Amino acid sequence: MKTEKMKVLLYLKKSSLDKSGKAPIMGRITIGRSIAQFSCKLSCNPNLWNPRESRVDGKSREAVEINGRLESLLLSVQSAYQSLFSKDGSFDATDVKELFQGSVQTRCMLIERLDMLIKEKESHIGVDIKKESLSSYHSTRNRLQEFIQKRYRASDLAFSQLTENFIYEFRQYYLGVCGFQESSFFAVASHLKTVCRLAYREGIADTLLFDKAHIERGDKKAPKALDRKALEKLKALRFDDLEEELATARDIFLFACYTGAAYCDLMELNKSHLVRDDEGSLWMKFNRHKTGVLCRIKLLPEAISLIEKFHNDERETLLPHVKYKNYQTCLKALRLRASIPFPFTTHTARHTFATLITLEQGVPIETVSKMLGHTSVSMTERYAKVTPPKLFEEFDCFLSFTEDMQLVI
């Protein structure tokens, strides 16, 4: 049996037309007298099928994609045959079918295929892609793997495990937990769609994932921040005993307004992130989850009061943990109760710190940029509209003091 040659035939199952009139494309493996049939998981218009060539006629986008997948599938069958042929032992058509179908399933990994795309892009640097442009692909890869690890407790996912809802769940994580903007996610979604499109063409994904997913392009207009009146409304809210989570969410949001920390950083802050300078002032020092850039923030009295309010010896973190989805829901409720005219998100607190708490009080923009953990001052300039009198004089001189400080409380 081992010396028998293999024949593979692709054909249409015209007796099983779908509602659009398309017939499924089937495959038949023949080795000697053994036969194994399999579904290509593709379909086409019977009028366009070329039985002699085992392909779809025409140069339409659909025809090119189907033919590409069929070629990849035939290569997979041939590879399975060669693998069995190289081993000592007999095998038949069913063995080839099971091996090639199993290999397709096991190699369909999302991050793995994205890594291949990045490697391909790297070879094009200086030809049709800039080195700076490649960093966006690496960023997509890092955020995507973080999401998969947290959401699915896995390092990678097979394309067969992905659902259409995956891209929307990833969007929520990217915007809410990581703190990026809609305009940034539009590019990330494009990378994800590209990988899925390639996987589909290569036959390692059964469906063209996220092709119909609508992602807003967004814009890069200056982010909204609360004004003094809105901030005072939030501070003045009172809660009853059954609204503990709502009260906690309000205080966490206020803490973010006074420190500029993003949600993902807030939830990880602990006592090791607090330091005192030579004058006894309390500072917060941590690396941003989003960029890894060091943030150093001198704590205002309001922020210190909230730390003291949340102090709990049984908890390592400075603040109680609130799930992101619950936090979002609470912010919507707080907005309605405080009669704030525009919707705000977790990141609005960060914008409020940049404008109302620092820039509008005269803190130099270079200092604010360091406090926010921005990689460049140009990012901070989006917030810079007004520069009234200073809140912190000679603020920059304090930054160097915190480099190697230890917390002393």
Per-residue confidence (pLDDT) for residue 391, from 0 to 100: 37
**Three-class SS of residue 321?**
coil
Residue 12 bridge partners (DSSP) = 25
Per-residue confidence (pLDDT) for residue 353, from 0 to 100: 87
pLDDT one-digit tens code per residue, 282-317 = 999 998 877 778 888 989 999 999 999 999 988 999
Burial of 5 (0-12, 13-18, 19+ CB in 10 A): exposed
Q: Report yes or no: 110 and 156 within 8 Å, Cβ to Cβ.
A: yes
Per-residue pLDDT of the chain (409 residues; tens, 9 = 90+): 445 789 999 999 988 888 888 898 999 999 999 999 998 878 899 999 999 999 999 988 888 888 888 888 888 898 888 888 887 778 899 989 888 877 655 556 899 899 989 988 888 777 667 777 788 899 899 999 999 988 888 888 888 778 889 999 999 899 888 878 788 899 899 999 999 988 887 777 777 899 888 888 866 555 578 888 999 999 999 999 889 999 999 999 999 999 989 888 999 999 999 999 888 899 999 988 777 788 889 899 999 999 999 999 889 999 999 988 899 899 999 999 999 988 788 888 888 888 887 767 777 888 888 788 777 777 777 665 433 333 344 444 445 544 555 554 4
pTM metric for this prediction: 0.50
Among 205, 233, 209, 245, residue whose Cα is nearest residue 109: 205
Could you give phi then psi for residue 296, rounded to 5 degrees? -135, 115
Tally: H helices and E strands in the chain: 15, 8
| Domain limits, the chain | 6-107, 110-201, 228-402
Place of tokens 């005269």: 362
What are the CA-CA distances from residue 26 to residues 20, 60, 62, 308 (Å)? 18, 21, 17, 68
Per-residue confidence (pLDDT) for residue 5, from 0 to 100: 86
What's the first-to-final CA gap in the chain, in angstroms? 79
Per-residue confidence (pLDDT) for residue 304, from 0 to 100: 94
How far apart CA 378 and CA 358 sit, in angstroms, is: 16
pLDDT one-digit tens code per residue, 117-167 = 998 888 877 766 777 778 889 989 999 999 998 888 888 888 877 888 999
H or E segment and range at residue 352 = helix 346-352
Q: Report yes or no: 263 and 344 within 8 Å, Cβ to Cβ.
A: no
Among 340, 356, 367, 260, residue whose Cα is nearest residue 303: 260
Per-residue confidence (pLDDT) for residue 303, from 0 to 100: 93
- What Rg, from alpha-carbon coordinates, does the chain have? 29
Per-residue confidence (pLDDT) for residue 386, from 0 to 100: 38
Q: Report yes or no: 350 and 262 within 8 Å, Cβ to Cβ.
A: yes
Burial of 407 (0-12, 13-18, 19+ CB in 10 A): middle
Q: Report yes or no: 330 and 246 within 8 Å, Cβ to Cβ.
A: yes
Among 350, 267, 372, residue whose Cα is nearest residue 310: 267
* 228-402 CATH pick, 3.10.20.90, 3.40.50.2020, 3.30.200.20, 1.10.443.10: 1.10.443.10
